[in-house]
Amino acid sequence: MTIPSLPLLMIEPVVRAALLEDLGRAGDLTTDAIVPPTARARTALVARQPGVVAGLAAAATAFRLVDPEIEVAVERPDGTPLAPGDRIATIAGPARGMLTAERVALNFLGHLSGVASGAATLVEAVRGHKARICCTRKTMPGLRALQKYAVRVGGGMNHRFGLDDGVLIKDNHVAVAGGIRPAILAARRGVGHLVKIEVEVDTLDQLEEALATGVDAVLLDNMTPHQLATAVRMIDGRAIAEASGRITPQTAPAIAASGVDLISAGWLTHSASVLDIGLDWESADYSPPHSDGEVSA
């Protein structure tokens, strides 16, 4: 599998905002009071549980934004399967910056690795079928690009990135338009010839109407595997068949066996479990200032 990448230009603003939120108005009071400015350290990012690593660029950016002297040496790049105890990267440099950036770096790394691990689990569940696993727009505000990147790292693919790169006619659009056919016709009049049109259907009758009108893709929502198999036969290659609703590693194989092209799961991004990754201390190089136990004013 080819591992995707994100330009630093897309990563840095999100990480910078997270650091500013954490530093507040006075900076890292704890670290600045305890750690001498000359202290240097060597630490390691270590996996505590199995999964797939993702988000190393965001973690490295957190360290480097706090102190450009911090060096990050990646040993297991994004997309690497992890076992408990695996060393992911080594961090070396000024100890103050390392400790200040630690939580933000781990927040990004643990969350994005959790997203990638969830995607990898679903991909494995449908192995042997043609169905591809994809995410949705149910992302955390401000993190969409990173979360969708992590889905790709886990072997999944992305649905539309936003409202502006594809038409997805859902039930409320249909209600306002007065039906499937008028909604599709209005969408076709309102967008350019390169924009794909997908419509969500809950019943086989709605599917028949959508196919008769003509669409690029149909979102088969909350259908049983039997209904999905019937829908795939009705579609007969005339549109992309996407299944959604109640997608878990346990239900995905039967859904994939229906013959759908795509299986989309919102929980990959909005409810992914954080992968437990820690920053383990390895060595330090500094001499603490002498203290006789008294604090002078």
Query: Catalytic site residues?
Result: 103, 138, 170, 200, 221
Q: Which amino acid is at 63?
A: F
Report the SS3 class of residue 240. strand
DSSP calls for 133-152: EE--S---TT-HHHHHHHHH
Helices (H), 38-170: 56-66, 95-125, 144-153
The gap between the terminal CA atoms of the chain, to the nearest Å, is 61
> 240: Cβ–Cβ under 8 A, 6 or more apart, which residues?
198, 216, 217, 218, 261, 262
Query: Among residues 268, 249, 280, 252, which one has the least CA distance to residue 112?
Result: 268
Which residue bears the tokens 């990012």? 45
Q: Report residue 120 as tokens.
A: 């990898």
CA distance 89 to 45: 5
Q: Count other Cβ atoms within 10 Å, centred on residue 218.
A: 26
